[in-house]
């Protein structure tokens, strides 16, 4: 079901956020490509009727906005150049 995919997406996005925060001090550096691939795979598994805002963020690779959206914090997202939240 979509809820479990969204939960997995949130976990993957949180993992990406943590990996990026560790980049300056991590040795060896985390492999972000694996994290991006996981997020892309989960995005493909979302149903066609998934929230259009979430799909927009994921397709535009706006991973921080997608994370905030899934955390119920979409109000913190700023309007981008495309005028979409």
Alpha carbon distance 16, 63 (integer Å)? 9
Residue % of the chain over a pLDDT of 70: 89
Model's pTM, two decimal places?
A: 0.83
Q: What is the pLDDT of residues 39-55, one digit of tens each?
A: 999 999 999 899 999 99
Domain ranges of the chain: 2-76
Whole-angstrom distance, CA of residue 52 vs CA of residue 83:
14
């Amino acid at each position: 079901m979509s809820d479990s995919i969204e939960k997995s997406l949130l976990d993957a996005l949180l993992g990406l956020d943590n990996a990026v925060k560790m980049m300056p001090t991590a040795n060896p550096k985390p492999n972000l490509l694996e994290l991006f691939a996981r997020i892309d795979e989960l995005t493909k598994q979302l149903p066609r009727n998934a929230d259009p805002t979430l799909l927009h963020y994921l397709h535009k690779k706006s991973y921080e906005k997608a994370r905030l959206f899934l955390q119920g914090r979409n109000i913190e997202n700023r309007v981008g150049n495309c005028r979409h939240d």
